[in-house]
């Protein structure tokens, strides 16, 4: 299994522009040849390209500095120097690019094919042929190439998914993801089985009345996660990109004694990290009902009744209740889609 890396810092440097040539024509029978210095080539640029083929920033963890090739110097006979090649760095969708020194957000790579020029290559200098005039027919100088540009960047990945699975460690999120998608997350009977977000696609038509969308299995949270406890707040950032939250509460004998309290703890961690996360539409479901504690199930039902929720009960092991909870997500996803289309319409897009 490849290592998941969601934050890196690196320095990127473009290529210097090649110098123009201060050359003069030297040909037989042409005793006083004019200037013929060619231009220097442009330096290569560093480009960041968004692609769905990448899901981690691992490629850059042990690559602290990336440098593009410089442009070649110009030569006589008006020969232009070769330009340096652009260096394209593929990064996963959902990557935010910051200036590591100032903290300024430079780019938010959210769509396939989106390109950000991280470091512009230096322009090649002009040869002396460009500086000849009627009064200065033999210029003995040329233009130097523009210097390279070096930038210190911080890349921060926030996974992009329509639905984010929340809950305590071992709440059954990974098992659910494995059942409804083709993802194969690591599953175990011990805390923090999920060490990094897993993504899976619910295929259209797999379940009745179901659209196609991406689900993110987010690592289990505990009280104090916003302060770095457990797996820490580094995983809370991935909740920001999701549109709908599906909150799992374990009602088995191994689950929390008070289902409502476990829900409150997770919601409180979201609020302490970013209060706007509480505004996301959500569904709540009791999990592991194939091995449920009747008292915990009753407590969950009472919680749903008090808060006006439908008491969804599911077992990812047996499949019971899975279709029902997926169907319950559909209207929320539809609302988010219509809301996004409305915002685009207001902006004339």
Categorize the per-residue pLDDT at 240 as very low, low, confident or very high, splitting at 50, 70 and 90: confident
What are the boundaries of each domain within the chain?
1-157, 163-346
Segments in 105-225 forming alpha helices (H): 173-180
What's the confidence (pLDDT) of residue 287? Answer: 94
User: What pLDDT is stored for residue 42 in this prediction?
Assistant: 97
Convert the pLDDT of each residue in 88-139 to its tens digit: 999 988 899 999 999 999 999 988 999 999 999 999 999 999 998 888 888 9
Is 163-346 in CATH node 3.10.20.30?
Answer: no
Choose the CATH number for 1-157 among 2.70.210.12, 3.40.50.300, 2.60.40.60, 3.40.50.12780.
Answer: 2.70.210.12
Q: Which two tokens stand for residue 335?
A: 């609302």
Inform me whether the pLDDT recorded for 225 exceeds 60: no
The token duo for 282 is 């959500």
Give a three-class secondary structure readout of 225-294: HHHCCCCCCCCHHHHHHCCEEEEEEECECCCCCCHHHHHHHHHHHHHHHCHHHHHCCEEEEEECHHHECH
pTM of the complete model? 0.68
Give the span between the Cα atoms of 184 and 177, in whole angstroms: 8
What pLDDT digit, counting tens, does each position of 297-306 carry? 999 999 999 9
Mean pLDDT for the chain overall? 83
pLDDT band for position 53 (cuts 50, 70, 90) = confident
Q: Count other Cβ atoms within 10 Å, centred on residue 310.
A: 11
The two tokens of residue 213 are 């969308």
Q: What is the dihedral of CA 104, 108, 113, 119, to 10 degrees?
A: 10
115-119/244-250 β-pairing: unpaired
Q: Tell me the pLDDT tens digit for each residue of 62-76.
A: 888 999 999 999 999
H or E element in which residue 323 lies: helix 322-346
Whether 180 shows a pLDDT value over 90: the answer reads no
Of 177, 173, 158, nearest to 236 by C-alpha is 158
Q: Give tens-digit pLDDT for 275-292.
A: 888 999 999 999 999 999
């Amino acid at each position: 299994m490849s290592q998941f890396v969601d934050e890196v810092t690196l320095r990127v440097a473009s290529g210097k522009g090649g110098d123009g040539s201060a050359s003069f024509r030297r040909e037989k029978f042409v005793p006083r040849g004019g200037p013929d210095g060619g231009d220097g080539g442009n330096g290569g640029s560093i480009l960041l390209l968004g692609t769905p083929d990448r899901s981690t920033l691992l490629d850059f963890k042990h690559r602290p500095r990336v440098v593009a090739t410089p442009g070649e110097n110009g030569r006589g006979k008006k020969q232009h120097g070769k330009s340096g090649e652009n260096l394209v760095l593929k990064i996963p969708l959902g990557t935010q690019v910051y200036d590591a020194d100032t903290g300024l957000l430079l780019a938010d790579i959210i769509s396939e094919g989106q390109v950000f020029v991280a470091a512009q290559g230096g322009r090649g200098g002009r040869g002396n042929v460009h500086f000849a005039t009627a009064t200065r027919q033999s210029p003995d100088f040329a233009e130097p190439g523009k210097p390279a540009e070096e930038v210190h960047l911080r890349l921060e990945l926030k996974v992009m998914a329509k639905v984010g699975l929340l809950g305590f460690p071992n709440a059954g999120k990974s098992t659910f993801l494995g059942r409804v998608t083709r993802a194969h997350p690591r599953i175990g009977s011990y805390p923090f089985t999920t060490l990094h977000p897993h993504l899976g696609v619910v295929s259209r038509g797999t379940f009745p009345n179901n659209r196609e969308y991406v689900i993110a299995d987010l690592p289990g949270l505990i009280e104090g996660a916003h302060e770095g406890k457990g797996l820490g707040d580094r995983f809370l950032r991935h909740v920001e990109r999701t549109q709908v939250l599906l909150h799992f509460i374990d009602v088995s004998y191994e689950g929390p004694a008070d289902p409502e309290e476990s829900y409150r703890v997770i919601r409180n961690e979201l609020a302490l990290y970013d209060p706007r996360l509480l505004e996301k539409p959500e569904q709540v479901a009791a999990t592991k009902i194939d091995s449920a504690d009747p008292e915990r199930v009753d407590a969950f039902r009472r919680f749903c009744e008090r808060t006006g929720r439908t008491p969804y009960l599911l077992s990812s092991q047996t499949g019971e209740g899975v279709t029902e909870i997926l169907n319950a997500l559909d209207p929320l996803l539809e609302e988010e889609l219509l809301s996004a289309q409305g915002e685009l319409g207001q902006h004339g897009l």
